[in-house]
């Protein structure tokens, strides 16, 4: 697959569904990295933040507009990594309660598992505080 140039912008999508309470979707990164995370990705230079979000949702979990209930902006943060400056915009993405993620079509093969988790479960699995904060904010939103 041809990779587009990175814009220095990233997205994080906290995908939730409402069943018997709210649950957050986490995907497991394929070893050797081996960790659980929300949906994350780069925004290409030729994309808006919203276009990058939609593309990442489709690539990583096959979530398209037919299973999407709402998307809303949560927050952002900036950081330095390997001498590069990044801004990561975080979104709440509510999926249909019947949505079943499909991680098998990810062009990079990044994930080997997914799960829907309560806030308490998700916070135990995710290693980064900023991601934990995003999950709490998303699951406590109206």
**Domain limits, the chain:** 6-139
The reply to whether CATH 3.90.79.10 applies to domain 6-139 is yes
CB atoms within 10 A of CB 95: 22
Question: What are 18-37's pLDDT values in tens digits?
Answer: 998 999 999 999 888 899 99
Whole-angstrom distance, CA of residue 94 vs CA of residue 14: 8
Is the alpha carbon torsion for 49, 5, 8, 26 positive or negative? Answer: positive
CA atoms within 13 A on the CB side of 118: 4
pLDDT at 3 over 50: no
Whole-angstrom distance, CA of residue 76 vs CA of residue 79: 10
pTM above 0.85, yes or no: yes
Question: What are 63-120's pLDDT values in tens digits?
Answer: 999 999 999 999 999 988 889 899 999 999 999 999 999 998 887 888 999 999 999 9
């Amino acid at each position: 697959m041809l990779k587009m140039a990175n814009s220095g912008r990233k997205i994080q999508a906290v995908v939730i569904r409402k069943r018997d309470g709210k649950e957050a979707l986490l995907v497991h990164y394929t070893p050797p990295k081996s960790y659980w995370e929300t949906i994350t990705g780069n925004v290409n230079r030729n994309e808006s933040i919203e276009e990058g979000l939609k593309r990442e949702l489709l690539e990583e979990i096959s979530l398209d507009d037919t299973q999407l209930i709402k998307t809303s902006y949560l927050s952002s943060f900036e950081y330095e990594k390997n001498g590069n400056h990044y801004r990561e915009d975080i979104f709440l993405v509510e999926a249909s309660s019947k949505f079943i993620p499909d991680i098998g079509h990810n062009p990079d093969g990044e994930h080997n598992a997914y799960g829907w988790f309560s806030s308490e479960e998700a916070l135990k699995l995710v290693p980064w505080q900023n991601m934990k904060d995003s999950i709490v904010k998303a699951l406590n939103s109206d």
